[in-house]
Amino acid sequence: MLKIESEKITLTRNFKVYINFLSDLNNYKVLFPKDKISDWKSDNDSCSLKVQNVYTLEMVKESVSKNTINLISGESSPFKFSLKIDLHEDKNNICSAQIICNANVSPVLKMMIGKPLNELFNYMANQIEEAIVTE
């Protein structure tokens, strides 16, 4: 099992803005590096994309709670994974976000994809704020 945690990022807007934005998987396209994805398809509850023209990832919304959005791999993904986006608001109304991924991959694949996925999830976490600001 490969577990990757993005850095925690600080967000500047109202907590509900982020939950609403991240609850709709149509919005996830802007979280990925444009030069690394193609064949984007999405609706409110799922999305699929081709990564570097090599493999297709499909994500399906499993649940949304007060502080967490849970996504799981879809049928066309090359490996099983879960993706959790944790959002927290402290007593001073400061929000933070972190992306946590658990992927069921072989030890060899773990060594190959661990660092690139860590970089991807850090990129995605940082894009959350930028996507809201430019929306």
CATH topology of domain 2-134: Alpha-D-Glucose-1,6-Bisphosphate; Chain A, domain 4 (3.30.530)
The whole model's pTM is what? 0.91
Using DSSP, state whether 74 is helix, strand or coil.
Answer: coil
Domain residue spans of the chain: 2-134
* Structure confidence by residue, pLDDT tens digits, 34-73: 998 999 999 999 999 998 777 889 999 999 998 999 999 9
Identify the band that residue 90 occupies on the pLDDT scale cut at 50, 70 and 90. confident
- Using the structure block, give the residue that is written with the tokens 């799922």: 46
With a CB cutoff of 8 Å and minimum separation 6, the contacts of 104 are 1, 2, 79, 80, 81
- pLDDT cut 90: percent of the chain above it: 67
pLDDT tens-digit readout, 110-125: 888 888 889 999 999 9
Q: How far is CA 45 from CA 48, 64, 72, 98, in A?
A: 11, 11, 11, 20
Q: What confidence tens digit (pLDDT) does each residue in 63-82 have?
A: 999 899 999 999 988 899 99
Instruction: Express each pLDDT in 4-35 by its tens digit.
Output: 999 999 998 888 899 999 999 999 999 999 99
